[in-house]
Amino acid sequence: MAEELIVNPCLQFQPYFDDSTSFLLYAPKPGSGMKYLVVKRDEYPNVFDVFLDLSASRFDFLDPELDLDEADRDLLVENGVLVNSAESPELPLFSCQLSEFDPFQGDFDLGSLIAHPGIRFSPFDLGNFHSISQELHISPFSASVWIRDDLTGIEQGIWLSDSDAEVVSRLTASRSPNFPIDIDLARRLISAGILIDPLELRRVSQLRGNEIEVAQAKFQKDHYSVLKELFPGVQMRAMQRYYRAYVANGFMPFGDDQVERRYREHNEPFARLLQNQFASLMSLIAGVDVKLSYVYAASYVGGSVLAPHVDRKQCEYSISFQVDYEPEPPSGISPWAIYVTPLLGFDDAAARGETVTLAECERQAAAADPAAVNLANGDGLFYMGRELIHFRNELPDGHRSTSLFFHFVSVDFEGPLD
Ligand SMILES: [Fe+2]
């Protein structure tokens, strides 16, 4: 019914500087993905006039019943500009709350624990409310504490209630708390890694250091390697929550030139925040100083196929970071393998500046014995996507797989980064 329709609260209006006779409307359409509609004055005169007029004030002043005819309404519903008021989209914001960590159950002596050496307290701040939520897609609604892993450079954010923030703000990195802490809160701070036993910290660091050494050697030899559990399970569940809601609310466009059946977004804001944190680890694994090129967030649905291919030059060093797989595999490991095999003749093709065709990648992949890489949520595949042909077979119906692709280039790379 037309009277239930409202203008999508997330609608964006974009004029064209070189063409005053058209503009772009785009909006997330729940269940369908981001929709883009070019409105040309010649083609849709009434929609053009009404929305140009509203762009100077507010789109929610529109009365769809009075201002539009039925054909206009159908067009705008189809393109997500008008939505049913009960189904209007909302931008999800990432947060991982301290309350999501199960309290540590063992015995401990508070005096022997220290605050993690990599903690950084971020107070609640009305001043950056807008930029945090709109540019990073993280929750601005409370204080948070960030724990940076010294070896990987990866930071995990933990959001705090007002009373918990008061306690955490008093902690000093690498120091024992010199004030009493409520036992239940202390148990959660331990399980979140905010308070830690220095011996345990050393043990975990040594293990991670060994894993990195193994991954470095494997990368040198095979141009790919895997690092496991780059974020703890509680953080991964928070990421799953964010990306499931982000896709369900329609914020990611559906389909692209490479894969028809995936939701995807170039430089999706939360993925971009994570990519910053992965740069030093990528450099460490590759043994080369790298800089960010771009990040791609993708949520594949049943029927998706990733054909054998090699990547473009903006993707010299990449990480495929597994976020989510549905239905949840009993082993925790995604059954949907990424296959990799070396591109034969890479050096010759690179020297001649040639692009390797998909047909050639297909031919080589069929003749090779590719390695299957199966990741659990939170694992990252580090790889050189220009030198390795990589692909995935068809994702079964009803399954869904969400990954982030962090792409990097050498610091001396001079071309466009997008
Ligand atoms: Fe690729």
Give pLDDT tens digits for 148-161: 999 999 999 999 99
Helix, strand, coil shares, percent, the chain, to 5: 35, 30, 40
Lowest mean pLDDT among 73-82, 138-147, 340-349: 340-349
The pLDDT of residue 347 = 79
CA of 248 from ligand 1 middle (Å) equals 25
Report whether pLDDT(3) > 90. no
DSSP 86: G
Q: What does the pLDDT average to over 90-111?
A: 96
What is the spatial distance between Cα 143 and Cα 318, in angstroms, rounded to a whole number? 32
Q: What does the pLDDT average to over 403-416?
A: 93
CA of 36 from ligand 1 middle (Å) equals 26
Report whether pLDDT(59) > 90. yes
Q: What is the mean pLDDT of the chain?
A: 94
Q: What does the pLDDT average to over 182-200?
A: 97
The pLDDT of residue 401 = 97
CA of 314 from ligand 1 middle (Å) equals 11
Enumerate residues with CB within 5 Å of ligand 1 (an ion).
311, 385
Phi, psi (deg, nearest 5) at residue 255:
85, 145
Report whether pLDDT(143) > 80. yes
Percent of the chain at pLDDT exceeding 90: 88
The model's pLDDT over 270-307, given as tens digits with 9 standing for 90+, comes to 999 999 999 999 999 999 999 999 999 999 999 999 99
The CATH topology of domain 207-410 is Jelly Rolls (2.60.120)
- Rg of the chain, C-alpha, whole Å: 24
The pLDDT of residue 152 = 96
Distance of CA 373 to the CA centre of its chain: 20
Give whole-number Cα distances, 134 to 25, 53, 80, 159, 385, in Å: 19, 26, 20, 17, 31
Report whether pLDDT(2) > 70. no
CA of 117 from ligand 1 middle (Å) equals 36
The pLDDT of residue 1 = 47
Q: What does the pLDDT average to over 309-324?
A: 94
Tell me the pLDDT band of 77, cut-offs 50, 70 and 90.
Answer: very high
The pLDDT of residue 390 = 96
Q: What does the pLDDT average to over 10-31?
A: 94
Q: What does the pLDDT average to over 113-133?
A: 93
CA of 243 from ligand 1 middle (Å) equals 21
Report whether pLDDT(418) > 90. no
Domain with CATH 2.60.120.620 in the chain: 207-410
> What's 175-240 look like in SS3?
CCCCCCCCHHHHHHHHHCCCEECHHHHHHHHHHHHHHHHHHHHHHHHHCEEEECCCCCHHHHHHHH
> Residue 405 CB: number of other CB atoms within 10 A?
20
Report whether pLDDT(414) > 80. yes
Q: What does the pLDDT average to over 246-256?
A: 94
The model's pLDDT over 365-388, given as tens digits with 9 standing for 90+, comes to 999 999 999 999 999 999 999 999
CA of 374 from ligand 1 middle (Å) equals 16
Report whether pLDDT(233) > 80. yes
Q: What does the pLDDT average to over 229-248?
A: 97
- Specify the pairing of strand 400-410 against strand 306-309: unpaired
CA of 400 from ligand 1 middle (Å) equals 18
Burial label for 353, CB within 10 Å (0-12, 13-18, 19+), is exposed
CA of 310 from ligand 1 middle (Å) equals 6
Q: What does the pLDDT average to over 174-199?
A: 96
The pLDDT of residue 257 = 84
Give whole-number Cα distances, 282 to 276, 320, 371, in Å: 10, 11, 21
Lowest mean pLDDT among 14-28, 216-230, 351-365: 351-365
Report whether pLDDT(132) > 70. yes
The pLDDT of residue 353 = 73
With a threshold of 0.85, does the pTM exceed it?
yes
CA of 20 from ligand 1 middle (Å) equals 38
